[in-house]
Amino acid sequence: MKQRPVLVVAMAVALVMVAAGVSLGLWAASDGDGGSTGTEARPSQGRTAAAPRGTSPESSPSPSRSYALSKAPQTIPAVRDHEPARGPGWQPESGNRVVVDDAALADEGRLVAGELGLTYAGEKADRRAGDLRLALGGDKKANPESYVMTVRDGRAEITGPADAGVFYGTRTLKQETHDGGTAPEGVVRDEPAKPQRGFMLDIARKNFTAGWIEDRIRELGDLKFNQLGLHFSDDQGFRIESASHPEIVSQQHLTKAQVRKIIDLAESRHIAVVPEIDSPGHLGAVIDAHPDLQLRTAQGSPVQGAIDISKAESAEIVDDLLNEYADLFPGRPWHLGADEYQALVRSDPEASFPQLAAAAQKKYGSGATVADLTTGWLNDRAATVREHERTPRAWNDGFFRGGSVQADKDIQVAYWTGKEIGAREPLEYLEAGRKVINYNDEFLYYVLGEPQTFVYPTGQRIYEQWTPRVLRGTTAVPERYDGQILGGSFAVWCDLADSQTQDQVAAGIRMPLRATVQKLWDPDRPELSWAEFRALADRLG
């Protein structure tokens, strides 16, 4: 075997000794009086450590990292678009700041800071590593609920044309970073398909505590719902304190102070609370205190829950309540009910209720019917709430064919069923140019005790079969009407109130709520299978 030259071996030994000396010198420096703990020698994520002098970056011993192209966030509802990038992403770390570029975003900033364990620093122009910045900007004509979230260079920024969009961006970020997760590098561009994404709760038949309702508001906010309907008047109870008519209020009820707290919490989550005082049916709690206003047949038999709309006092008491609660509920939408007026289920309403027939003819002419008088009642109540700058809506079976009186054009249709007498196909409302909100009882009705033909809806069925265009049954209306469908609402009705506890209701609606908002945010076929979606919901909590 050939031996290496002695000179070469000697040089090699010398080089090793020099290298060892440099290394020992570096370690000695880091343990000296400079106070270094050794962490300074570790480069931050996504950056390349500086090379020692006299060496090129390519020959540096720096532990620089490369990153795979990021994947889209996993959230409920899913984001509409994600532009991937390479980088470490963003995680909340104690001491990092939430900053805003506009004082109007202070509430959103404080909320997300508290949720993620960050420091709310207010309006700041400087930029620091780890910052989460909230900003107003972009196209002012864009959807006010849209947002852009950029994760880059160790920072995250959420921008939207209005505070609602910025809030929804923080919900995406909260889900991404849940339980130690990382917001992926890149740009999210997101907005909802439908402007109304609701949950309706029947608190008239079953008394729900204020705390339970507040918990649902937090849940709804994180899921990007933006409406909470409260049906608080029915035959079984009237559940909110009243100054104008305290005699009608049930023993178990919400005080106005509790309702204001609920409304304030909802507003902080960009949720409008939509009140419903149903009339002229479903007024049993009012009639219990005012039996003289109950509708009676020609033979004197009382009609359950129905108020006699031929009496001026009936309109006065309902308008008193509408005016009173308009001062309590600040949002624009207002639900007038108008469904299931029992006078109209008789084969000959005019013969069964001659006082209603006479009132109709006196007000609208000799050919007017009980249906005309009932439609006129709806229009009059709509005029009452319109004076408070509210947008009225009514159940679809409160709209009637023919007749001399038609429902006002601005009354939105809350379409829930095709099973009621006189109920019309959704196309009739859409072809007439009306705005419609989807409450399809085939998919979106959670009726306690499962009376009649109702069964508890499943999230899977909503997720796989329902879209906002499926207004009745299982068939979608033509796509050309999509713009008239404002959105939809999942509804809890308490027909058999003791069938479930509050906690059982919360558990039962958990996955249906998530499936509903997924399809309202993006009605296209979801990328995740139902099993994957359910697993994601379980992971996110």
> What are the residue numbers of the active site?
340
- Torsion over CA: 368, 370, 371, 372 (sign): positive
Kindly state the tokens that stand for 77.
């509802």
- Within 8 A by CB and 6+ apart from 149, the residues are 156, 157, 158, 159, 169, 172, 173, 183, 187, 188, 190
Q: E strands of 137-226, at which residues?
A: 147-152, 155-160, 186-190, 196-202
b/e map of 38-77 (b: 16 or more CB within 10 Å)?
A: eeeeeeeebeeeeeeeeeeeeeeeeeeeeeeebebbbbbb
Burial of 90 (0-12, 13-18, 19+ CB in 10 A): buried
Number of residues that this document lists for the chain: 541
Neighbours of 257 (CB within 10 A): 10
Please classify residue 20 by burial: count the beta carbons closer than 10 Å to its beta carbon, then call 0-12 exposed, 13-18 middle and 19+ buried: exposed
Indicate the burial class of 432 (C-beta count within 10 angstroms; 0-12, 13-18, 19 or more).
Answer: middle
User: What is the three-state SS of 251-320?
Assistant: CCCECHHHHHHHHHHHHHCCCEEEEEEEECCCCHHHHHHCHHHEEECCCCCEEEEEECCCCHHHHHHHHH
Q: Which 3 state secondary structure label does DSSP give 239?
A: coil
CA distance 533 to 463: 9
Taking the C-alpha atoms of residue 490 and residue 197, their distance in angstroms, rounded to an integer, is 9
Rounded distance between C-alpha atoms, residue 343 and residue 349, angstroms:
6
Q: Using the Cα atoms of residue 436, residue 441, residue 446 and residue 448 in order, give the sign of their dihedral.
A: positive
* 99 DSSP 8-state letter: E
Distance, CA of 468 to CA of 439 (rounded, Å): 9
Which residue is listed with tokens 């009936």?
314
Q: Residue 415 corresponds to which tokens in the numbers above?
A: 């379409």
